[in-house]
């Protein structure tokens, strides 16, 4: 009885680890595209080409991301902003964005 439960839990845990690994590959692809954008100015095009490719779609799917056109546009917008993923995911950046949004809302209300 416990063997099947342990096996299911192990498989679920392995699946979660696999998704995290592929999510890290997506983040690395974003960082590479941002670097290309700073050097050559073609970062959004690079990430779009990668995300629409067979390998890109496979990596996005394995990361738990539906590889549709809306996702591609979101990736392109992220690269166009030029903020590296490590910075964008940091607490300080999140707090800065929230503060900027609050200031913008206050300006619109006034």
Residue 1 scores a pLDDT above 60? no
18 vs 3 pLDDT, higher one = 18
| Burial bucket for residue 104 (CB in 10 Å: 0-12, 13-18, 19+) | exposed
> Three-state SS for 41?
coil
Choice among 22-31, 75-84, 101-110 with the minimum mean pLDDT: 101-110
50 vs 13 pLDDT, higher one = 50
Q: Mean pLDDT over all residues of the chain? A: 90
Q: What's the pLDDT at 3?
A: 65
Output the pTM of the full model.
Answer: 0.77
Q: What's the pLDDT at 100?
A: 86
Condensed to tens digits (0 to 9), the pLDDT of residues 15-26 reads 899 999 999 999
Retrieve residue 55's tokens. Answer: 């390998």
């Amino acid at each position: 009885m416990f063997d099947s439960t342990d096996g299911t839990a192990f498989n679920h845990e392995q699946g979660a680890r696999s998704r995290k690994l592929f999510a890290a590959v997506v983040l690395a692809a974003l960082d590479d595209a941002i670097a290309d954008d700073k050097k050559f100015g073609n970062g959004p095009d690079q990430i779009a080409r990668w995300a629409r490719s067979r390998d890109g779609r496979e990596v996005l799917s394995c990361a738990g991301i539906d590889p549709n056109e809306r996702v591609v546009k979101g990736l392109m917008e992220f690269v166009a902003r030029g903020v590296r993923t490590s910075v964008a995911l940091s607490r300080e950046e999140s707090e800065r964005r929230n503060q900027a949004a609050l200031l913008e809302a206050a300006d619109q209300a006034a």
